[in-house]
Amino acid sequence: MKAPKRNAVQQAGFLLGMYGQFLKIYVKTLVEYRADTMIAIVAGIIAQGSTLAFLTVIFSRIPALAGWDFYELVFLFGLAAAGRALNQTFLNAPFLITGYIRYGKLDMMMVRPVGVLFQSIGYGQELNGVGQLCTGLVIMVYSALKLDMTWSYGQVGFAILALLCSALIQFAILLTISVLTFWVHEVRSLIFPVTWLYDFARYPLQIFHPVLRGLLTYVFPYAIGSFYPAAYLLHHERYEWALWGVPLVTLAVLGVALWIWSLGLRRYTGVAG
């Protein structure tokens, strides 16, 4: 059965409607499995709370870290945590794609009238990210109140954009790694260390060695979606470039990832191929 021909607007509307159906199923899962949802939320709170407890202990000894005081660091941590959770909740597809390729599910997905990557994103919502997302947003608001930050509509808009960019950058990086399965059968041993690198982006880059700073900015640009947006919101006079640099880098990284994905998909010949 051939997919009906649609113009760009019709196709966009169709995909939005289709993703809405995926989200509806996801919300039903949250409601149906209330105990699992509560466990995920509590687990997220505990995970983020333990890190905050660690930061509190550190700052009881050190009044400032690389020029950042406690609540500034907490704001950075909250933004990074919320961005990570947003990616995990809605863009967890890279962790599933390897299994789809290895075990043949990709063959079934390719004959459907919706793109394989879109289907992977729709199937990839992750329950465990819900609690961390809620906690990260609460931490951001709490630290912003303690810092007496003044919020204009533009700053609120940039904060929302920064969270989206953070999620998309993580998605693009992990998608690029997972796509290597089209050429190399075992990439799971690589995708998890690359994921863990994001933890460094929750702290001021100035405390790290220049090699690690370069890695987090230019090779795996996690810092573009976490440290630099937080630095702009807290010290915009020193990081004015982040206003346009963050979305621009996000588009570039995402574009490269989608290009590599298209190359890999063209190379795919099926499980028996």
Q: What are φ and ψ of residue 22, in 5° steps? A: -60, -45
Residue type, 162: A
Q: What is the pLDDT of residue 223?
A: 95
End-to-end CA gap in the chain: 24
Name the DSSP class of 112: S
Q: How far is CA 29 from CA 35, 48, 119, 201, in A?
A: 11, 24, 18, 31
Q: What is the pLDDT of residue 2?
A: 56
Q: Give the Cα separation of 168 and 219 in Å (integer).
A: 15
Name the DSSP class of 5: P
Whether the CA torsion 73, 142, 137, 13 is positive or negative: it is negative
Q: What is the largest CA-CA distance in the chain?
A: 67
Predicted model pTM: 0.87
Tokens of 98: 């390897």
Distant-in-sequence, close-in-space partners of 13: CB < 8 Å, separation ≥ 6: none
Alpha helices in the chain (DSSP H): 8-32, 34-61, 70-90, 94-103, 105-110, 116-123, 129-146, 153-179, 188-196, 210-214, 227-234, 242-267
Q: State how far Cα 221 lies from the chain centre.
A: 12
Q: What is the pLDDT of residue 4?
A: 62
Neighbours of 64 (CB within 10 A): 11
Tokens of 245: 């640099």
**Tokens 């690359």, located at residue:** 194
* Angle of helix 116-123 versus helix 94-103 axis, rounded to 10: 120
Per DSSP, the three-state class of 63 is coil
3-state secondary structure 98-159: HHHHHHCHHHHHHCCCCCHHHHHHHHCCCCCHHHHHHHHHHHHHHHHHHCCCCCCHHHHHHH
Q: Is 54 exposed, middle or buried (0-12, 13-18, 19+ CB in 10 A)?
A: exposed
Q: Give the Cα separation of 73 and 87 in Å (integer).
A: 21
pLDDT, one tens digit for every residue, the chain (273 residues): 455 666 667 777 777 787 877 778 777 777 776 777 777 777 777 777 777 777 777 666 766 677 888 889 889 999 999 999 899 888 888 888 887 877 778 878 887 778 888 888 888 877 667 778 888 888 899 899 988 888 889 999 999 999 999 999 999 999 999 888 888 777 777 888 898 899 899 888 988 999 999 999 999 999 999 999 999 999 888 889 999 999 999 999 999 999 999 998 887 776 554
Q: What is the pLDDT of residue 270?
A: 64
